[in-house]
Amino acid sequence: VIIVDDGSRDKTASLLKENKSRDWRIKLILHQKNLGKGAAVRTGLSEVTSNYVLIQDADLEYDPIDYKKLISKASPDLAVYGSRLLTKNPHAYARTYLGNVFLTSFCNLLFGIKLTDSYTGYKLLPTKMIKALNLSSNGFELEAEITAKLAKRKIPIVEVPISFRPRKYEQGKKIKAKDALTGVLAFLKIRFGSFN
């Protein structure tokens, strides 16, 4: 398990250090300042030695109980996404739900694919595959970058239904409207750019 603390200001780092000392399987990496989700994921990827990568946000909006669903579909030739929209979700906020529907529809139109949740944070990919994407995003647009680069390379994406309990903004939820714009720009850059 690779944990990246992205410059948290609470007691997260000390709690993680304490748990790491009890379990040799935990690798802890600390960012001295907050660099963003994309930067944290890229830091973690640089240390991965397993055959597959499963990304888990620390706030537990995504429930680890769903790991089995993603792992059951794992294959060297495809990516597995946990879709929040394949499950009826009484906890979803209208604003973020509509934003996700827009981004996913935009992505589907640009790349000719049929996803329900292009911006999910729950992704399981073969390590060789995700490292070959040469990710460069620092923020939430990482989700768009991964999906767009997979789609441009014609790599199949399989979706499985997952549970999702979003935090409230007053609880520290960080994604904002401007993140949708950076996502759109990432989709466009990759779709019409000359790189894969």
pLDDT in tens, the chain (196 residues): 999 999 888 887 888 888 777 888 889 999 999 999 999 999 999 999 999 999 999 888 899 999 999 999 999 999 999 999 998 765 555 667 888 899 999 999 999 999 999 999 999 999 999 999 999 999 999 999 999 999 999 999 999 999 988 756 454 445 667 878 999 999 999 999 865 5
Per-residue pLDDT at 82: 96
Per-residue pLDDT at 194: 61
Per-residue pLDDT at 170: 52
Is residue 1 domain-resident?
no
Is residue 145 domain-resident?
yes
Is residue 146 domain-resident?
yes
Is residue 56 domain-resident?
yes
What are the two backbone dihedrals, phi and then psi, of residue 83, each rounded to the nearest 5 degrees?
Answer: -95, 125
Is residue 170 domain-resident?
yes
Per-residue pLDDT at 68: 97
Burial of residue 72, with CB atoms counted within 10 A of its CB: 0-12 exposed, 13-18 middle, 19 or more buried: exposed
Three-state SS for 160? strand
Q: Do residues 44 and 4 lie in contact, with contact meaning Cβ atoms separated by under 8 Å?
A: yes
Burial of residue 146, with CB atoms counted within 10 A of its CB: 0-12 exposed, 13-18 middle, 19 or more buried: buried
Tell me the pTM: 0.89
Number of domains in the chain: 1
Is residue 3 domain-resident?
no
Range of the domain at 176: 51-192
Which residues are CB-contacts of 169 (< 8 A; sequence separation ≥ 6)?
none
Is residue 122 domain-resident?
yes
Is residue 136 domain-resident?
yes
